[in-house]
Amino acid sequence: MTTLSDRYDPGPQISHAGTINLGTKDLERSLWFFRDILGMEEVERHGDVAYLRAYQELVHHSLVLTQQDENIVNAYSFRTKRPQDVELFYEELQRLEVEAIEVPSGTERGRGTAVRFLLPGGEHPFELYYDIERPEADPSLRSKLPSNSSRRRGLGVRRLDHFNVQTSPESINQAEQWVRDNLGFKRREFAMLPENPSTVMASWMSVTPQVHDLAIVANREEKKGQLHHLAYNLENFSDSLTAADVLRDLDVSFGVGPGKHGIGQAMYLYVHDPGSDHRVELYAGGYLIFEPDHPALEWKPVDFPEGLTWYGDPIDVTPGSRGRDTTGSAGLQHPFLAPTV
């Protein structure tokens, strides 16, 4: 007898935000920040590329640090729900006439074949993959808890939480709608531009019960392909306060925080990786959504400041860094692939 799942195919789907590849001009300084201070495990080093994971991530990595001449984002990667979804998404991209390339297995160490394309309307370099290794930590780091890949160390970031990206006001509607229509993200909370109520100002979207796995925000300088921040998850509010105390003493550059968002209701602390200056949010708390018919919540202009900052310092909305070259086919090239002739 076949099960219901055998008789029903929902099509390709995204599971969660999986990995991010950050270019850094100072790899050792970035490693000091992510590995030694935030407490991530350096799983593997291959030349000028380091692979790291947080202590509750069992897969090979969620962060790739690449030594290069520019502090730019090389790739935002999302894991699919099934192995076949990578190929199915590739076929769908072809049908939609979105240029895409295959990133061969092992191009990112420990990871299988991926599909790479530029987000329509956003021009952010997105990658979709499924296969990824699950190596055990070195015995000196291993936890007794089977749900942890290693012992909690440093400030104890436990997993990659979300990406917050920016694109131009002219293209944000296209990018936000495309992510919802073609990658299956649900709009959870949003706001429209006060001067143009038909244009999205910010949208928080998810494929998981979180309020957002991906946020897209209109860039006030009308730039595309921008990163505002990547976020790593802390266990609780008090961890955010401890992090602020520790990082201040180490002269790590602060953005804003600690404070609490009205949108998502999580505590935030924005800091900058001293090796690359990429903005990193240390994110704790927040509410979860389980109802399938949960409505998208709109923040009106009069209330929007409280959405960004329920209490604490106002959020800095300037971009944190930009994406990899997004001009034509060059933007499709993965940082570890030889450029096309």
Task: List phi, psi (to 5°) of 222.
Answer: 60, 35
**Pairing, β 196-206 against β 125-129:** unpaired
Dihedral of the CA atoms 306, 307, 308, 309 (nearest 10)?
40
pLDDT of residue 322: 59
Centre a 10 Å sphere on the Cβ of residue 20 and count the other Cβ atoms it contains: 21
Centre a 10 Å sphere on the Cβ of residue 296 and count the other Cβ atoms it contains: 12
Q: Comparing C-alpha atoms, which of 183, 132, 126 is closest to residue 11?
A: 183
**Pairing, β 159-167 against β 214-218:** parallel
In order of start, what are the domains of the chain with their CATH numbers? 11-135+156-329 (3.10.180.10)
pLDDT of residue 58: 98
Q: Residue-wise pLDDT tens for the chain (341 aa)?
A: 567 767 788 999 999 999 999 999 999 999 999 999 999 999 999 999 999 999 999 999 999 999 999 999 999 999 999 999 999 999 999 999 999 999 999 999 999 999 999 999 999 999 999 999 999 999 999 999 999 999 999 999 999 999 999 999 999 999 999 999 999 999 999 999 999 999 999 999 999 999 999 999 999 999 999 999 999 999 999 999 999 999 999 999 888 889 999 999 999 999 999 999 999 999 999 999 999 999 999 999 999 999 999 998 888 767 766 555 443 444 677 777 644 32
8 Å CB contact between 304 and 191? yes
pLDDT of residue 319: 73
